[in-house]
Homo-oligomer: A and B are copies of this chain.
Amino acid sequence: MIEFLEVDNLDTAIEKLYTECVKTVFATLQEEVLLLNSLDRILSEDLISEVEVPNFNRSTVDGYAVVASDTNAASDTVPVILNVVGSVEMGTEYKGRVNSSECVYVPTGGMIPDGAGAVVMIEDTEQISENKIVVYKSIGEGKNVVVSGDDVKKEDLILHKGKKITPYDIGLLSSVGIEKFKVYNKLNVTIISTGDELISDKENLSKGKVLDINSNLLESMAIENGLNVTGKYLLQDNEKDLENAIKNSIGSSDIILISGGSSKGKKDLTSFVIDKISSSGVLTHGIAIQPGKPTITSFDEKSKTMIIGLPGHPIASAILFRLVVLKVIDKIRKVSHRERTCTGILTENVPASQGRTTIQLVNIDDNFNIIPLFGKSGLIHRMSKSDGYILIDRNKEGYNKGEKVKVYYL
């Protein structure tokens, strides 16, 4: 019971770790990248356009550039006759001018000549002689025209610091000719999986032994989230090995993840070693979250290394990595990226313990029914089959069947 009081709420744990990390340059070093190498990287500077897009008035249809007011009286029964005085070539500047009673053919994307303020679609016209068309429709000023600067203006702040670069951002940056810029460095991660029961080779399976899940799980999650995995260890539970592994990694890593220690004895070992090595000591010794309680956080200021003890339970380990470690990095970098979430209706009651946040894996059907995946603690096959998870607030006793809940996609 005393131990329970010592654990932190999830928000407190995040805040404590953030507060330590943010004092240093942790997660804020930058490097320059070329546009096509920037996918999924996080911008570390605001990007401003030096050009206008488009840099000329542009037609959005195939048709005739006209003085809009010339068409005021046009209709199916009383068309207006205009003189065709020219034709715009794609990709070239049209030097002539459109005066009243005149028009110029413009292809989609072509430049609107001076004097013209709208484009009549070719479908609303008819050619009646070599140089004359009739217009069957009245159109307003600006119709079918993208005006110079409509997409991007000069000096527009087009992407903010903290933006995670998508293919569409790469498209936008291409449109203004920005070819290189600064992004935050990829962080280096060392993953240490500990446990006397853990082995890596199927041939050595015997009663009492299990194949290690967490180092591969965390490695692939790290890669998926733009981190470099620079070291991996599979250790027995002993102080000396753990201490050596951390000491070996601390210089080359920004983050050290130590997974394992779901049992009391082991947790104390991880916590003891972290406390000994890290300048901050242990910041959080247990989080009020289920599963995921045996999570330990720490930040070594001297080496600027986040040292985190994650639960041995693979589901807890994966989600706490996301909820704490990745969250703090994003908070430091002020990352703006819409989290993939949805809402739906629960098909069953989901119990929860008041006083701690509950993580519940779920599936989502095509009608956004949210189906909880119950089962014994720690079964990895459930996570592989889940679409996402819900978080139940520590002040709630659970959700009832039929309640609307928010799901975080895995």
Contact = CB atoms under 8 A, between A and B. Distances in A.
A89 B168 CA distance: 55
B195 A90 contact: yes
Oligomer: number of copies:
2
A175 B210 contact: yes
B314 A171 contact: yes
Contacts of A344: 343
Nearest to A109: B197
A110 interface: yes
A166 B410 contact: yes
Nearest to A94: B208
Nearest to A215: B174
A214 interface: yes
A236 B197 CA distance: 64
A398 B320 CA distance: 42
B342 A265 contact: no
Interface string A191-213: 00001111001100111111111
A342 B368 CA distance: 8
Interface in A24-63: 35-36, 39-40, 50-51, 53-56, 58, 60, 62
A16 to B, nearest CB: 25
B174 A263 contact: no
Interface stretch (A126-134, A145-153, A274-282, A323-331): A145-153
Interface stretch (A5-13, A181-189, A239-247, A381-389): A381-389
Contacts of A364: 338
Contacts of A207: 55-56, 93, 111
A73 interface: no
A350 interface: no
Contacts of A176: 202, 211
Contact of A36 (B40, B196, B212, B220): B220
Contacts of A237: 90
A60 B377 contact: yes
Interface in A331-353: 338, 340-344
